[in-house]
Amino acid sequence: MTGLSRGLRGRTAMVTGGAQGIGAAVAERLCAEGCRVVILDISADAGRDTIARLHRQGHSAHLAVGNVTDTAAVDAAFAGVPASWATPTLLVNLAAGFVFKGVEATAADWHAALDPTIIGLSHVTRAFVAGLPERNADAAIVNMASISAHIAQEGYLTYNTGKAAVLGFTRCMAQDLAPRGIRVNSVSPGTVWNASNERFHREVLGLDRAAAEAAPEHGGRFLLRRFADPAEVAAPIAFLLSSEASFITGTDLPIDGGYLAV
């Protein structure tokens, strides 16, 4: 069904923010590709639910509960990888701060937006790299950016700045880690119909999915005239981690239904 197992089967992947939404879809996809997956997430309840579902499907999955901004929690997550598993050589950085403020943003708003998105990203990446050999690591990292990293949006100053920083982080880290055999890329999804977006559209805008996708100012902004499902983001991430993408590093892959083309 998946067909990307070359270079993935039997490997260990760390997925931050993997308890729900896109993260849970990534964890499930990587498990389906034959990976053992560690989910690092701040939500214990959501994490346990996702791990239980993966176990019911016969997959190998492990939960580490913690905040990516906490270096001790990050170190504990890597130290807690089951002893029978291989050292993690795949990393997906999805944890982020979701703060949508403009010029009125306070210092607290900026910390809430950037600390998980950038500081946490750096903590996890550093801990991941520390466990890899100095040469020929055969490892891959995918960071979560957004179409918001590429455009201006009113009232999104905090969020868009953080996601734009992810692009810079990805390019610089790709250059720094290439001599060690570690590829680093990012993805930029458009709107994904996950639980939080569904709640926003229904409760704030009064729109179900069909109505939201039909609206010119929402789904109509995408060439494909719809939103993505989480699995449609997970699949390109799995590709970038696989050896099928062995000559791709330092780049960003839009998963945006054509949003950035217009």
Active site residues: 159
Question: Would you give the DSSP letter of residue 13?
Answer: E
In terms of residues, how long is the chain? 262
* Tokens standing for residue 44: 């214990």
Quote the CA–CA distance of 35 and 138 in Å, as a whole number.
Answer: 15
Helix (H) or strand (E) holding 14: strand 12-16
130-164 as b/e: b if 16+ CB within 10 A:
eebeeeebbbbbbbbbbbbbbeeeeebbbbbbbbb
Quote the CA–CA distance of 243 and 31 in Å, as a whole number.
Answer: 16
Question: Would you give the DSSP letter of residue 144?
Answer: E
Quote the CA–CA distance of 91 and 88 in Å, as a whole number.
Answer: 7
